[in-house]
Structure 1
């Protein structure tokens, strides 16, 4: 019963964290609105893979490595910040371009490009692992059976994919695309500015 309560608490806290606005939300929403549902779902899947990788790293001690070799953590953090600034620049640069029509038969390359963008975004932010490690320490017992470790990773995977898939379904519909088409210039500027601020925060926040 203790294990079940711990896992339930983890599921709720992690889902609230996933649902909080951040660079992942911006990227998935923008991908779904611009490239369509398939691209958005692939981006959601990439976010899930990245989060599970960081969760596994937190479970199996990568934080200890980062604590011992601080330069490694700093390198990850600066790399992630630069990638966020690059995404922000691309959004701002193309804010005035018209929204292309979603073409499922011709958009496979673009969809996989969105997958790669999302995966790189998730893997380039070591703060995801630091957060995972903190909630694991707070909510989970120190000595866990192997089935519980597998359940923790499954919870992370389900939460991540479910939330970002929901965002994809909301923002890939024709109504959302029509709204995005009308307001693309200002939305892209807003999202680009938000990514730039998050990138700077990641770079300078210890």
Structure 2
């Protein structure tokens, strides 16, 4: 593979990582409430989840979607419903003050638990499934050396992880947290509205 091919994959992967989505919002909210370290471990899980979708795409996800297009429709409908549920939940509780005391299950969650949480959030998110099953594959050459798959997965993991670690860092700062607490209702409703729009867009396209 040429440098240009790797660079194209890097750029399209970075664009997908930084585009607003449930993973970015989860990293932001986790860091606001639980601190940078827990948000960073979550980001690692998000990166690993993206790699799982990439592997699925490189080894048959697109073929599966072509053979059984109803599977893609079902995935999109289920994902849209999940995003709309999250949006409704966020909007419903937006006016409630944010308690910094973690629920017992969250407080007991280890670093590895945060990683698994990030993986689960990414696998439940239809956005990477659609991206890797369609757009991503168009950037792969017809013939890919075996060693190049490792480089590609490294690029994807790096982009998703580093971006969400950056998000976690920004939202873990005291100044950011203070601003959020002062505007919690508005910000939660904006985040909830964005999730709702993502869900509607996914369901209608």
1:161 aligns with 2:153: no
User: Any idea what the Cα deviations from partners look like across 1:133-163, whole Å, max 9, x if unmatched?
Assistant: 4444433321111110111111100110000
Cα distance change of structure 1 residues 147 and 121 upon mapping to structure 2, 3 Å threshold:
same
Give the TM-score of the pair, scaled to structure 1: 0.86
Partner of residue 142, structure 2: 142
RMSD over aligned CA atoms reads: 2.5
Q: Which residue of 1 aligns with 2:27?
A: 28
Which stretches in structure 1 are left out of the alignment for 5+ residues?
none
Q: 2:18: which partner in 1? A: 19
**Equivalences for residues 99-118 of structure 1 within 5 A:** 99-101=98-100, 107-109=107-109, 118=118
**Offset of 1:168 from its aligned partner?**
0.3
Structure 1: distance between partners of 2:59 and 2:159: 20
Shift in alpha-carbon separation, 1:112–1:32, aligned structure 2, 3 A: farther
Shift of 1:184: 0.6
CA separation of 1:81 and 1:136: change in aligned 2, threshold 3 A: closer
Normalising by structure 2, report the TM-score: 0.87
Alpha-carbon spacing, 1:188–1:170, altered in 2? closer, same or farther (3 Å) = same
Contact map agreement 1:77 1:125 (CA 8 A) in 2: no
Partners in 2 of 1:203 and 1:135 — Cα distance?
Answer: 18
- Which aligned pairs between 1:4-153 and structure 2 lie closer than 5 A? 4-101=3-100, 107-109=107-109, 118-153=118-153
The number of residue pairs the alignment matches comes to 203
